[in-house]
């Protein structure tokens, strides 16, 4: 819908006043960006963006990602004006406890928010993931060509452009030729500390052209120029597009237009009143929306309804055609028993790395779960995260095996975008040590409750000669500190299979599967391994009541079993508890917890990582075989001797610990 400039100006003015009023009401927020981008939003939402106000989950909607999440009032204002369920009362409650208008957009809390953003650069990469998800669907269902033709729009800031994750994501998007991406760069030249010239000096246009992007430039306050640039970007089908729009922060403010202070603070009552007066509005009026603005958006909705009706008819023909049943079952996950029946036996008599077991499981899962997609940051062969025969990404192509390149941060953020799209279960993989490069995106996945899966191999100092730069120590503790993230460290191949089943069926948040480089024996029978879903379980019970409880995860479970055998020969009865997932164990009832962790029995923790956090299960007076410092570069056997992770050392120290407590009468 092409509006007159006067109509667009009326919409833009309304956006500006709503942003000023909401931030002033909250006495907190970022008015500058919404005011500066109001003209762009007016053109985008009335002429280019395809959406259904009453069906915000419509498959073919254009995705709009506000990567510059601090400017959330821009998005909230547009959702209100467009009739997407956002009320004036919601705007008045901006940044208030329990409101639908939090300081930064949160997916799931506010209808119409495609991804939780705020940490800059994340939304940039999320949009790349959404574009990849679209291409994956078109690959799987070529019949959707011409039906699934939406775009992924994003509004990005100077800060987004500076963040490293955006560079990683932009590079990959250009390589893949993601023509559905249209990113609008709000180039207002202002950062919190002042002009962006303080820290940003490159030619952004040349940089993105080097990535393989199509680039347009426009005056961000000239409606015709904005429309021209967006039309050129939408017309580009083979390359992602960046529209660089020169804007003025806090555009329209009476005295503070272009002032860096407007980035993250209210304008103040005097400046708001003066600005409204200059706009010809009642300075005392608050949250005012002219009726004409609502009418303009109703016109846009009516215009799009004809498109909706035509699309619905075409999509109905697709779903009732030859591929209709396959489409309907595409996102239906087989139950746990069906998955188990389709997985390999994993009954090796020789020790195998859990990364190898995971790789075998993944190969089968690709056939059982058609919407399972993912890849690695250039370590697919090491982590065993590649499924043969299912296509792979490359120059201008997409496959279910995605080569992310050495871009761990972007990989995790792109994975979030794929999950936000809602049609796929994405996984990513690398060495556990590089989790730190992914952590910001993993945290956002947990915050959003996204079903994402992380495969991390080389999980401890036992990876050996690569040394302390690559030996994780604090990483399990750091991962367990993230709320709503399930950290699963399986003890053997069969627990690894169960970890995958849990991760696939967990729809309320991300799951991490932590895997070994070195071989481990198969220790749990198929039935007992299913107790992984309870977080911890009794793997070995002595013939008489236990004198000590050995709590271990991952490769250290087999070490605990070996130590228990040695202790039995010395008259100490040890119960061995496999403890693959704290979060699952926390969710169990108190009766089960006390059954596994029998009160009044000394406890020992065996885990080749930081002790941090184990106290709540074992207590401060437990005996700990953990890592308090970095490892060293040496073969695995030498490292076990150096750091005390041998069955003989563990058994000797436990024997002394138990006997001392018995002599002293300490339970």
Q: Hey, what are 232's tokens?
A: 């050129």
Quick one: residue 349, left, alpha or beta (phi over 0 = left, psi -120 to 50 = alpha)?
A: alpha
| pLDDT value, residue 647 | 98
* Secondary structure (3-state) at 390: coil
Asked whether this chain's domains 5-306 and 336-526 adopt the same fold, the reply is yes
Closest CA to 494 of 348, 385, 336, 374: 348
Q: Could you tell me the sign of the dihedral formed by the alpha carbons of 66, 72, 78, 80, in that order?
A: positive
* Cβ atoms of residues 549 and 603 within 8 Å: yes
Q: Which CATH architecture has domain 336-526?
A: 3-Layer(aba) Sandwich (3.40)
Identify the segments of the chain with pLDDT beneath 50.
Answer: none
Backbone phi, psi, residue 153, to 5°:
-95, 145
State the Cα–Cα distance between residues 232 and 230, nearest whole angstrom.
Answer: 5
State the Cα–Cα distance between residues 197 and 205, nearest whole angstrom.
Answer: 16
Q: Where are the beta strands (DSSP E) in 67-170?
A: 152-157
Q: Which one-letter DSSP state was computed for residue 335?
A: P
Q: Which CATH architecture has domain 5-306?
A: 3-Layer(aba) Sandwich (3.40)
H/E run at residue 88:
helix 88-92
- Please state the separation of Cα 350 from the chain's center in Å: 36
What b-and-e string marks burial along 94-116, b requiring 16 or more CB atoms within 10 Å of the CB?
bbeeebbbbbbbbbeebebbbbb
Q: Which one-letter DSSP state was computed for residue 46?
A: I
| pLDDT value, residue 526 | 75
Closest CA to 182 of 245, 263, 90, 254: 245
Closest CA to 650 of 517, 550, 541, 536: 550
- Please state the separation of Cα 36 from the chain's center in Å: 29
Q: Which CATH number applies to 532-664: 3.30.470.20, 3.20.20.70, 3.40.50.920, 3.40.50.2000? A: 3.40.50.920
**What residues does each domain of the chain span?**
5-306, 336-526, 532-664
Angle between helices 435-448 and 408-421 (to 10 degrees): 20
Mean predicted lDDT score pLDDT of the chain: 97
Q: Exposed, middle or buried, 239 (CB in 10 Å: 0-12/13-18/19+)? A: buried
What percent of the chain clears pLDDT 90, i.e. is strictly above it? 97
pLDDT per position as a tens digit, 473-516? 999 999 999 999 999 999 999 999 999 999 999 999 999 999 99
Q: Which long-range contacts (CB under 8 A, 24 or more apart) does 268-277 make?
A: 268/24, 269/24, 272/20, 272/21, 272/24, 275/16, 275/20, 276/17, 276/20
Q: Give alpha helix (H) positions in 334-384.
A: 336-342, 354-368, 380-383
* Cβ atoms of residues 513 and 359 within 8 Å: no
Angle at 553 between CA 465 and CA 562, to 5 degrees: 80
For 150, how many CA atoms within 13 A lie in the half-sphere containing its CB?
A: 25
**Active-site residue list:** 408
- Please state the separation of Cα 321 from the chain's center in Å: 35
Backbone phi, psi, residue 245, to 5°:
-110, 120
Backbone phi, psi, residue 558, to 5°:
-65, -30
């Amino acid at each position: 819908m092409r509006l007159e400039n006067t109509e667009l100006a009326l919409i833009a003015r309304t956006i500006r006043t709503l942003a000023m009023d909401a931030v002033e009401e909250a006495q907190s927020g970022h008015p500058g960006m919404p005011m500066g981008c109001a003209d762009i939003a007016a053109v985008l939402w009335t002429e280019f963006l395809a959406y259904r106000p009453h069906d915000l989950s419509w498959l073919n909607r254009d995705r709009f990602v506000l990567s510059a999440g601090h400017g959330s009032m821009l998005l909230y204002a547009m959702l209100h004006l467009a009739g997407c369920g956002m009320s004036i009362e919601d705007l008045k409650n901006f940044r208030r406890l329990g409101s639908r208008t939090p300081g930064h957009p949160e997916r799931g809390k506010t209808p119409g928010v495609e991804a939780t953003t705020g940490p800059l650069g994340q939304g940039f990469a999320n949009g790349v993931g959404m574009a990849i998800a679209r291409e994956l669907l078109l690959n799987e269902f070529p019949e959707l060509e011409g039906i699934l033709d939406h775009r992924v729009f994003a509004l990005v800031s100077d800060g987004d452009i500076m963040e490293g994750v955006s560079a990683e994501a932009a590079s990959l998007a250009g390589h893949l030729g993601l023509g559905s991406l249209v990113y609008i760069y709000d180039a207002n030249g202002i950062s919190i500390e002042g002009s962006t010239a303080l820290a940003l000096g490159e030619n952004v246009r040349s940089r993105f052209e080097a990535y393989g992007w199509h680039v347009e430039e426009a005056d961000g306050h000239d409606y015709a120029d904005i429309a021209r640039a967006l039309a050129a970007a939408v017309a580009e089908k083979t390359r992602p597009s960046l529209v660089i729009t020169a804007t003025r922060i806090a555009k329209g403010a009476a005295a503070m237009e272009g002032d860096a202070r407007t980035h993250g603070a209210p304008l103040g009552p005097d400046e708001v009143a003066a600005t409204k007066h200059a706009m010809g509005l009642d300075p005392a009026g608050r949250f005012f929306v002219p009726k004409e603005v609502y009418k303009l958006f109703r016109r846009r909705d009516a215009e799009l309804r004809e498109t909706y009706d035509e699309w619905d008819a075409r999509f109905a023909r697709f779903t009732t055609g030859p591929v209709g049943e396959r489409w309907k079952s595409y996102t239906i996950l087989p139950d746990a028993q069906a998955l188990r029946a389709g997985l390999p036996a994993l009954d090796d008599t020789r020790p195998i790395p859990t990364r190898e077991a995971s790789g075998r499981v993944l190969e089968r899962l690709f056939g059982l779960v058609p919407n399972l997609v993912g890849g690695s940051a250039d370590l697919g062969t090491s982590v065993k995260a590649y499924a043969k025969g299912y296509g792979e990404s490359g120059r201008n192509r997409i496959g279910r095996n995605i080569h992310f390149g050495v871009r761990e941060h972007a990989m995790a953020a792109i994975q979030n975008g794929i999950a936000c799209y809602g049609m796929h279960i994405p996984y990513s993989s690398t060495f556990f040590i590089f989790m730190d490069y992914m952590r910001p995106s993993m945290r956002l996945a947990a915050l959003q409750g996204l079903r994402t899966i992380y495969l991390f191999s080389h999980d401890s100092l036992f990876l050996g000669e690569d040394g302390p730069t690559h030996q994780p120590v604090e990483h399990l503790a750091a991962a367990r500190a993230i709320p709503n993230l399930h950290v699963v460290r399986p003890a053997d191949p069969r627990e690894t299979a169960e970890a995958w089943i849990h991760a696939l069926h967990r729809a309320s948040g991300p799951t991490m599967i932590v895997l070994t480089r070195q071989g481990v024996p198969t220790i749990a029978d198929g039935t007992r391994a299913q107790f992984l879903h309870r977080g911890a379980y009794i793997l070995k019970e002595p013939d008489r009541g236990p004198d000590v409880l050995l709590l271990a995860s991952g490769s250290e479970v087999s070490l605990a079993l070996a130590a228990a055998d040695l202790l039995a020969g010395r008259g100490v009865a040890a119960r061995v508890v496999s403890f693959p997932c704290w979060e699952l164990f926390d969710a169990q009832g108190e009766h089960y917890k006390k059954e596994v962790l029998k009160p009044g029995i000394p406890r020992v923790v065996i885990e080749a990582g930081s002790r941090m956090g184990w106290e709540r299960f074992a207590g401060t007076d437990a005996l700990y075989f953990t890592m308090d410092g970095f490892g060293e570069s040496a073969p695995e056997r030498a490292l076990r001797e150096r750091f005390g992770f041998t069955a003989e050392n563990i058994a000797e120290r436990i024997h002394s610990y138990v006997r001392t407590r018995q002599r002293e009468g300490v339970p």
